[in-house]
């Protein structure tokens, strides 16, 4: 099998990181193409509707043999089914997809906490509005979403502390990334609130200790969080 090809921005974790974590955990050979020579040109080409019949609106995009797949949750739906990162039952797959979509919602809101007016303008030009939106995100949205995921984990009767059933799924990988991202962006808020979510912290730790994930996190393939990504550390937005 030819390696899968991931098309995503080469300098950020962003939404592509949810895909990278799944590829790494399942030990699927892949090429993170935009990080290589002429990589950006290849990423632009795959988004070019003049060349690709199924061009995506935006990255990440995954080429898997003859399939070209866009949208993060859609890529994970495919990887989950194909590579053992989701249950085999219809009910289990729909539940995974539902949880992943809810993660995508809070990730989009995390982005908008620093860009509430326009993604085409600089943070500095919408800083005042970002302070107001981030205050709401910290006070209302983080507790509501993370409290929801804590409940999902706590109620799952399966062993192992996972979100769905008794085996790791891509949802667990994404919950790890969500906690890591929020810790990076809102360290004071998360330090204060995290004791409310012991199951969420536990699944974060479980994922971090998986051999393939631990090796990935220690490698150069893991890009550091930075202020070009979705989760950004602007101290004024954390207080």
Q: Report the residue number, 129 or 238, with the smaller CB distance to its own copies.
A: 129
Residues paired with residue 68 on neighbouring β-strands, in sequence order: 63
Closest CA to 204 of 186, 170, 180, 223: 180
CA–CA gap between residue 131 and residue 151 (Å, rounded): 29
Please give the DSSP secondary-structure letter assigned to residue 67: E
Tell me, what DSSP letter sits at residue 163? S
Query: Of 15 and 210, which has the nearer Cβ to its own copies?
Result: 15
**Preceding peptide of 60 cis, ω within 30°:** yes
Closest CA to 28 of 73, 66, 63, 74: 63
Cβ 71 to its own copies shortest distance, Å: 4
Question: Do residues 17 and 226 make contact, with C-beta atoms less than 8 angstroms apart?
Answer: no
Residue written as token pair 């539902």: 98
Question: Taking the complex as a whole, how short is the minimal distance between the CB of residue 95 and its own copies, in angstroms?
Answer: 6
174 in Cβ contact with 103 (< 8 Å):
yes
**Which residue number, 101 or 214, has a Cβ lying nearer to its own copies?**
101
Compare residues 100 and 177 and give the one whose CB is closer to its own copies: 100
Contact present, 225 and 184 (Cβ < 8 Å): yes
Tell me the closest approach of the beta carbon of residue 210 to its own copies, in angstroms.
25
Phi and psi for 138 in degrees, rounded to 5?
Answer: -70, -40
Interacting residue ranges for its own copies, rule: CB under 8 A: 49, 53-57, 66-67, 69-71, 73-74, 77-78, 90-91, 94-95, 97-98, 101-102, 105, 108, 112, 116-118, 120-121, 129, 132-133, 136, 140, 145, 148, 151-152, 155
CB of 63 to its own copies, least distance (A): 12
CB closer to its own copies out of 133 and 204: 133
Q: Which CB atom, from 145 or from 231, has the smaller least distance to its own copies? A: 145
Task: Please state the closest distance from residue 38 (CB atom) to its own copies, in A.
Answer: 25
Q: How far is the CB of 190 from its own copies (least distance, A)?
A: 20
Phi and psi (nearest 5°) for 7?
-110, 110
CA distance 58 to 112: 17
Of 38 and 148, the one with the shorter C-beta distance to its own copies is 148
Minimum distance between the CB of residue 137 and its own copies, rounded to whole angstroms?
A: 9
């Amino acid at each position: 099998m030819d390696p899968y090809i991931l098309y995503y921005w080469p300098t950020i974790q962003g939404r592509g990181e949810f895909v990278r974590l799944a590829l790494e955990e399942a030990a699927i050979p892949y090429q993170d193409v935009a990080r290589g020579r002429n990589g950006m040109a290849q990423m632009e080409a795959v988004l070019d509707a003049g060349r690709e019949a199924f061009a995506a609106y935006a990255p990440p995009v995954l080429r898997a043999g003859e399939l070209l797949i866009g949208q993060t949750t859609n890529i994970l739906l495919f990887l989950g089914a194909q590579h053992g990162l989701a249950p085999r039952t219809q009910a289990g797959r729909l539940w995974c997809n539902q949880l992943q979509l809810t993660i995508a919602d809070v990730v989009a809101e995390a982005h908008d906490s620093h860009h509430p007016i326009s993604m085409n303008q600089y943070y500095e030009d919408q800083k005042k509005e970002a302070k107001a939106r981030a205050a709401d995100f910290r006070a209302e949205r983080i507790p509501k979403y993370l409290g929801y995921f804590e409940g999902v984990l706590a109620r799952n009767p399966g062993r192992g502390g996972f979100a769905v059933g008794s085996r790791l799924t891509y949802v667990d990988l994404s919950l790890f990334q969500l906690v890591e991202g929020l810790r990076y962006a809102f360290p004071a808020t998360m330090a204060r609130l995290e004791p409310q979510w012991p199951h969420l912290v536990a699944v974060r730790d479980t994922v971090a200790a998986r051999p393939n994930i631990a090796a990935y996190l220690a490698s150069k393939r893991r890009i550091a969080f930075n202020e070009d990504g979705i989760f950004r550390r602007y101290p004024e937005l954390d207080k």
